[in-house]
Structure 1
Amino acid sequence: MLSRRHFLHAGLAATAYAAGSFVPVWAQSAPNLGTPALPSPGFRRTKVGDVEVVSLIDGIARRPLGEEFVKNAPLAEVRALLASQGLPTDYIDVPFTPFLVVAGGRKMLMDTGLGEFGGPNAGKLAENLRAAGVQPSEIDTVLISHFHGDHINGIRNKAGELLFPKAKVLVPAPEFAFWMDDARMAAAPQGMKGAFENVRRTFNGMSADMLVRFNPGDEVAPGVQSVAAFGHTPGHTLFEVSSAGQRFVYVADLTNVPALFARNPDWAVTFDMDAEAARKVRRQVFERITASNALVGGFHFPFPAFGRMTASGNGFAFQPQA
């Protein structure tokens, strides 16, 4: 459980919201750095056994790369690793990519993006769903990995209307307990209060039939297993889809930039609320994925946001699917 000391020293950068905004600071682009190009089309299909998995880009933010981004490595070392992979060294592009799982007659969406609360380069999920041939009203299940705004803001629009009106919304019980605790919200520093308010804006008013809490480790749908991966947030949860002997692992925010934090799993990104727990689970999960050669998808991975993990030095490298 995160104490006030954790709030002050581990979570402030991870959950800081601009005044009056429901968008976390890390999801907001710096306009002086230019606008990253969105992929076209903004979706990609793949098969996992008898199941179809579709990555759906919601947007991309471009933020400056500063000393604070990697909390336990010199900026020069971070820049050198990016340069070695042919990537820019003065900014970081952060994509937002939910995933759709089509299994039989079911359509399950994993996380929802920024919705109407992002900038002009975000909020593309509904558009890309339709381009992939799926209407938002067809989604029967929304699986939420954790409660940061870039994962939950797409549930409602600015008018408060539900964008997936027929879907059950499944959330990790420990994540819900943390962010919906009024005493914890009152004790949080000012920079975190926006995150608590955003959770309430999103989930308050949902019926018990619509909002369903699960315990990480539960099977949340036939062939879909939830996996506890606490650290990024107190209830951060992954989802594994199994079909016909094949497996897809949605790792959510296990690593925000695989070119940095998969290559160096022991580096701590500023967004992780419990950096030590996040580092430990990051390495464990990537070791398991690499050993099994499972298909992996990450919310902040470069498009198409799914591919394979391979061992690389002291860490792992992401190989996007062609």
Structure 2
Amino acid sequence: MALTRRHALAGAAALAAAPLMPGLPAKAAAPIAGKQNASFYRYKVGDAEVTVISDGATTFPLGDSFVLNAKKDEVNAALEKAFRPRDKMTINFGPLVINTGGKLVVVDTGNGPAAFASSKGAVGQFASNMTAAGIDPKAIDVVVISHFHGDHVNGLLTADNQLAFPNAEVLVPAVEWKYWMDDGEMSRASGDRMVGLFKNNRRVFETGLNKKVTPYEWGKEVAPGMLAVESIGHTPGHTSYVLSSGADKVFIQSDVTNDPDLFARNPGWHLMFDQDPAQAEITRRKVYDMIAAEKLSVQGFHYPFPGLAHLEKDGSGYRWIPAPWKPVI
């Protein structure tokens, strides 16, 4: 039977009257859980198996300078268009574990255990969610770092500053390594954020890892089937990756954009965390034009979990389309 307007209105009237009708007392079958299940999601790229492991998400008030070249009202309008609340931002974090068949590879490591404690578990979930996914950190062969921001490198160390992946080779972009380990660059750093980044990177890589890293170059494989791609602007050595297996590919974009509802829709907007915002915009447009033209899947570190999507051109920006959840791999 076709649903007519009369049927719909009759149903709405019945629902409106329902609170007035007597009913039996409600009995809760179980207490409210109050928390999510462990968050990880798997998909295949050819023969490679990708596990997206949530490091959690952070929510903070939307300030006037989160987008450097747009007014707060414009940013709020973009949030509302995406059916999100005004005046606050929620940023997700999604490290990866890739089983290439021959290697078990971590791509970026999340905010780390100190952030888990200070955020009361909101972020820094990578280690516990990885365990829930059945992955032993001692089994990781390679850790690939895209750039040296804390939400990507802090998880290299445990809560007691030991190696989180004791048997893994740590690969870092050569350009990024040169910049952050340069004493001259560190001496010229200004502002609390940049000074703090230099200090944190020295803590992680000098004190924690004792500089036991392997720098890698763009245009070369960092793991089987995983090509390092220059995508600078967010940082001087920011790197993305193309993971290929057979005829399948996914573009692992790292931080080419932050939140896609803002920066994919509005690629000309400049994020406060981009070290060179103008260069980051050039990179963003170049990368997203390529992804849209080639119809590649894209894996976004800061996309809403699990972060796998497609992109298409939409006016002056791009529309991101989340990949459908697959209950089987």
Residue by residue over 1:139-162, the C-alpha shift from the partner in whole angstroms, topping out at 9 and shown as x without a partner, is 111110100111000001242200
| AA partner of residue 57 (structure 1) | S
Corresponding residue for residue 47 of structure 1: 44
Residue by residue over 1:109-160, the C-alpha shift from the partner in whole angstroms, topping out at 9 and shown as x without a partner, is 1100011121221111111112212111111111101001110000012422
Corresponding residue for residue 244 of structure 1: 246
SS of residue paired to 1:159:
coil
Corresponding residue for residue 67 of structure 1: 64
> What is the correspondence of 1:42-121 to structure 2 with a 5 Å cutoff?
42-118=39-115, 119-120=119-120, 121=122
| AA partner of residue 157 (structure 2) | R
1:260 equivalenced with 2:262 (yes/no): yes
TM-score by length of 2: 0.83
Residue by residue over 1:289-319, the C-alpha shift from the partner in whole angstroms, topping out at 9 and shown as x without a partner, is 1112222111111011112112222111222
Corresponding residue for residue 187 of structure 2: 186
> What is the correspondence of 1:92-241 to structure 2 with a 5 Å cutoff?
92-118=89-115, 119-120=119-120, 121-191=122-192, 192-204=194-206, 206=209, 210-241=212-243
Structure 1 pair 41/157, CA: closer, same or farther in 2 (3 Å)? closer
C-alpha separation between the residues in 2 aligned to 1:80 and 1:280?
24
8 Å contact from structure 1 (residues 39, 303) kept in 2: no
| AA partner of residue 295 (structure 1) | S
Corresponding residue for residue 6 of structure 2: none
1:317 to 307, 312, 319: 319
C-alpha separation between the residues in 2 aligned to 1:122 and 1:276?
29
Structure 1 pair 229/124, CA: closer, same or farther in 2 (3 Å)? same
| AA partner of residue 291 (structure 2) | I
C-alpha separation between the residues in 2 aligned to 1:274 and 1:123?
27
Deviation at 1:106, TM superposition (A): 1.2
C-alpha separation between the residues in 2 aligned to 1:252 and 1:117?
22
8 Å contact from structure 2 (residues 100, 224) kept in 1: no
| AA partner of residue 46 (structure 1) | Y
8 Å contact from structure 2 (residues 103, 223) kept in 1: no
| AA partner of residue 186 (structure 2) | M
SS of residue paired to 1:73:
coil
TM-score by length of 1: 0.85
Aligned residues: CA RMSD: 1.5
8 Å contact from structure 2 (residues 105, 223) kept in 1: no
C-alpha separation between the residues in 2 aligned to 1:38 and 1:124?
13
8 Å contact from structure 2 (residues 96, 107) kept in 1: yes
Residue by residue over 1:216-248, the C-alpha shift from the partner in whole angstroms, topping out at 9 and shown as x without a partner, is 222112211000011000000001100011101
Deviation at 1:187, TM superposition (A): 1.9
C-alpha separation between the residues in 1 aligned to 2:36 and 2:297?
21
8 Å contact from structure 1 (residues 38, 60) kept in 2: no
The higher relative CO (CA closer than 8 Å, separation ≥ 6) is in 1
| AA partner of residue 293 (structure 2) | A
Structure 1 pair 117/207, CA: closer, same or farther in 2 (3 Å)? closer
How many aligned positions are there?
285
Unaligned runs of 5+ in 2: 1-33, 325-329
Unaligned runs of 5+ in 1: 1-36
Larger Rg: 2
- Using the aligned pairs only, state the percent identity: 42
Deviation at 1:215, TM superposition (A): 1.3
